[in-house]
Amino acid sequence: MNAYDEYMKQVVKPMRSELTDAGFKELVTPEEVQNYMADAEGVSLIMINSVCGCAAGLARPAVIAAVNELDKKPNNLVTVFAGQDQEATATMRGYFEEIPPSSPSIAIWKDNELAYFIPREQIESNSMETIKDHLSGVLSQIVSS
């Protein structure tokens, strides 16, 4: 591992732990993504994480707050890290390839298909509260159906 890779690994550590500390399972290899998606049951909230400011100030806090306020939560919380775990992220994006890649972004997976998707454009142009409320509403409907 070169000095740059080692530096970036340390820089993104708190960005990873913000989600894993909130109960998200991090998928870092293509095999982990494939194995997870093959066995995923119920509703999965998939956070495509990123180092950008809109991930730090909007997406991660909104996702965590939305999950925390729900009475009926998704069965699974998972994350891949765009720009860091590139192969894992590409593999995850392959499950909803009709959606252009964007990060951060939020996918809701149910019954082996994409049930809802929030791209970066809908994250960076809104407040954290708006994103949280939007996600909470969508999750409430999908988890209950």
Active-site amino acid positions = 52, 54
CA angle 100, 45, 132 (to 5 degrees): 90
d(CA 128, CA 1): 36
d(CA 142, CA 110): 8
Answer whether 25's CB lies under 8 Å from 80's CB.
no
Tokens of 127: 């407040």
Tokens of 77: 């919380």
| Three-class DSSP labels, 34-54 | HHHHHHCCCEEEEEEECCCHH
Answer whether 121's CB lies under 8 Å from 58's CB.
no
